[in-house]
Structure 1
Amino acid sequence: MSKPERALEIRRGAGGQATDHVRLDYEGRFLRRKRLETAAGQAVLVDLPETVSLEDGDALVLEGGGLVGVIAEDEPLLAISSADLARLAWHIGNRHTPCRIEEDRLLIRDDHVLAAMLKGLGAQVRHVTEPFSPEGGAYGHGRTLGHSHGDDGHHHHEH
């Protein structure tokens, strides 16, 4: 294998101009420093100034000027449908669970506990395998680090 090329920045939406690509699942697209291997077998050392959330169609900019496209990898998801998607989306959001909101369904990562809860709320839940690109959130592009509501040393305060 050749010496890894460094990627020091990303270019949003430039994946279509790339000559090579990497396939990454949702977790894999959240990165700062990581060694990746492209479809063509090229090693790439991602070394970004801060952790970023890459989206399907973004590109890593190589030091030599080349682009490596980012493709969202298929992964196990739950497709949720119901006559009351807004209510179900609230329950999912209340658990800080990443969710893709579409007109006729919600998509979340496969989770048997959430599946049981949603079925209990009257949802139809199907297992699907497809790329996962959830909503970005209220503070712009990307995502926040999830957290539990257990005793983890930090507390939510009412204002």
Structure 2
Amino acid sequence: MIIENIVTNIESLDKEEVGKRHIEKVYLESADLVKRIQRVKSDHGKEIGIRLKDQRDLVAGDILFMDEKNIIMIDVLSDDLIAISPRSLKEMGTIAHQLGNRHLPAQFEDDQMLVQYDYLVEELLKQLEIPFKREERKVKQAFRHIGHSHG
């Protein structure tokens, strides 16, 4: 089976619609969500080729295939993350500036900034006394570097 288009995302479907179908999952590392062409295997052992026509990243919950009885969807494996919880705008600005200087991609969920674990970031947060937790957590999308130059 070769998938060229995403059907929809599971979050956009009615729960009743989802409940009528058997769900098969393809587990990906968050870094693999940016790959438009890849060969994957579902949790039922089904080999699937992904060759997306659209210029878009995969997202957790994307449905690769759906019929009256089945859904094959993307799920994401947990990442080793640092969840940063600044207590003030000053702390947020300080850590955002520091991480930006290191060109580290970040994501935001609720009041937390998420970055992939790095012992140097952990040491920096301890030094700056900014609250954080290291945890295994699923993210919905890939950590993506934003291209730019200092020229």
TM-score range, shorter chain: 0.7 to 0.9
In the TM superposition, residue 53 of structure 1 has moved relative to its aligned partner by 1.7
Q: What secondary structure, in the 3-state scheme, does the structure 1 residue paired with 2:110 have?
A: coil
Q: 1:100 aligns with which of 76, 98, 107?
A: 107
- Detail structure 1 runs of 4+ shifted over 6 Å in the superposition: none
Whether the 8 Å contact between 2:30 and 2:143 is mirrored in structure 1 is no
Change (3 A) 1:145 1:81: closer
In the TM superposition, residue 110 of structure 1 has moved relative to its aligned partner by 0.8
In structure 1, the partner of 2:2 is: 6
Unaligned runs of 5+ in 2: none
In structure 1, the partner of 2:121 is: 114
Q: 1:25 aligns with which of 22, 29, 48?
A: 29
- Whose RCO is larger (CA < 8 A, sep 6+)? 2
Task: Supply the RMSD in Å over aligned alpha carbons.
Answer: 2.8
Corresponding position: 1:86 with 2:89: no
Whose strand proportion is higher, 1 or 2? 1
Instruction: Output the CA distance in 2 between the equivalents of 1:98 and 1:11.
Output: 28
Change (3 A) 1:101 1:6: same
Whose helix proportion is higher, 1 or 2? 2
Change (3 A) 1:117 1:132: same
Tell me the number of residue pairs that the alignment of Structure 1 and Structure 2 aligns: 137
Please, what TM-score do these two structures have when normalized by structure 1?
0.69
Please, what TM-score do these two structures have when normalized by structure 2?
0.73
In structure 1, the partner of 2:56 is: 52
Deviates more, 1:38-47 or 1:97-106: 97-106
In structure 2, the partner of 1:42 is: 46
Deviates more, 1:7-16 or 1:37-46: 7-16
* Corresponding letter in the other structure for 2:9: G
